[in-house]
Amino acid sequence: MASPPDSGPQRLWRRRELLPLGAAALGVGLGGLLLRRGGSPGWTENAATPQPPAPGGLREFEAGRVLWENGRRVREFDLTASTTLLQLNPAVTFKAWAVNGRVPGPTLRARAGDRLRIRFRNEDSTSHSLHFHGVHPADMDGIRPVRRGGSTVYEFDAESFGLYPYHCHVAPVTRHVSKGLYGLLIVDPPSPRPAADEMVLVMGGYDLKGRGRNDLYAFNGRPNLYRDQPITIVQGQRVRLYLLNMVEWDGPLTFHLHANLFDVFRGGFSTSRDDITDVITMGMAERHILEFTYRDPGLYMFHPHQDQIAERGCMGHFRVVPGGL
């Protein structure tokens, strides 16, 4: 059987072709960041005008290795848990438990109807596992610890489109998640959503002193990342934001977008909007798709409306540029 356009070995994200343009336009070395990480397999079916690379895995999607077995598409992913030292800011490092050496882990992407095969290896000294939200058999639920040096395979069907967090489920789960073992799986509907500039924001917290209380917060792993390096988007272009809250130790959080409204697709389980607002409340592991367009160029803030959390690192800006870079 012939393979579809996104089949074959893990295909590289086409935005890498814009690396020189992106680095020159932004005046920063973001292109080098992606090259040092070896690039990223990508997903282009919903892509609008390509944007330059951005840090924190913002526009990176792992499509996996695509195989065809008995006429069916299978996506294989290799995920490894290990200890990683994160530089949260010039003065603070954090000993994290990470998936593939990063917090959050890679954003996995598939299409409804695909079979997913996740090869998980634990290279940490502590037992870990990976539990995926969604529908799957009990023996694929990821609650059984995998010891140091061990490995397992989680295999299940991506039956329903939507957004599905994944995280370690070894007790105490709060500690394992708060130290960084989490990420997002996106399952797209059979027919692609309209073209958009797609990006992922995952909210997380850091308990630096082990007191069960977060000291710093972040979008995509690094406090104040997008405050200091604003996300460039294009005036009038649709933005599709895959938003996930993985902040342990705190109650529900909000996400607020300045000077605009966004369409809400709750859980990513619908292709028609469920609501329109500028603030949305999210419990732990809650996730949504938000879509919006900026009419005017400028610098626009986004953050949780719990100001103490925003002021401790969960703060960012969109830089809207006219017509393109």
pLDDT per position as a tens digit, 63-115? 999 999 999 999 999 999 999 999 999 999 999 999 999 999 999 999 999 99
Task: Using pLDDT thresholds of 50, 70 and 90, give the confidence band for residue 44.
Answer: low
How many CB atoms are located within 10 Å of the residue 36 CB?
9
Answer yes or no: is 194 within a domain: yes
> Is the peptide bond between 104 and the residue preceding it cis, with omega within 30 degrees of 0?
yes
**Domain range for 111:** 14-321
Residue 20: strand, helix, or coil: helix
Query: What does the alpha-carbon distance between residue 43 and residue 59 come to, in Å, rounded to a whole number?
Result: 10
Answer yes or no: is 146 within a domain: yes
Count of domains in the chain?
1
Task: List all residues 6 or more positions away from 81 whose beta carbon is below 8 Å from its beta carbon.
Answer: 97, 98, 99, 120, 121, 122, 123, 124, 128, 130, 146, 168, 181
Answer yes or no: is 7 within a domain: no
Task: Using pLDDT thresholds of 50, 70 and 90, give the confidence band for residue 56.
Answer: confident
Answer yes or no: is 307 within a domain: yes
Residues 152-179, mean pLDDT to the nearest whole number: 97
The pLDDT value given to residue 210: 92
The pLDDT value given to residue 323: 82
The pLDDT value given to residue 55: 76
Answer yes or no: is 175 within a domain: yes
The pLDDT value given to residue 297: 97
This prediction's pTM: 0.85
The pLDDT value given to residue 17: 31
The pLDDT value given to residue 16: 32
The pLDDT value given to residue 52: 52
H or E segment to which residue 162 belongs = strand 162-167
The pLDDT value given to residue 54: 64
Answer yes or no: is 220 within a domain: yes
Answer yes or no: is 36 within a domain: yes
> Taking Cα atoms as reference points, which of 183, 230, 175, 188 lies closest to residue 25?
230
Residue 41 has pLDDT above 50, yes or no: no
Query: What does the alpha-carbon distance between residue 220 and residue 202 come to, in Å, rounded to a whole number?
Result: 5
Domain harbouring 263, CATH code = 2.60.40.420
Residue 228: strand, helix, or coil: helix
Residue 302 has pLDDT above 80, yes or no: yes
Answer yes or no: is 302 within a domain: yes
The pLDDT value given to residue 72: 93
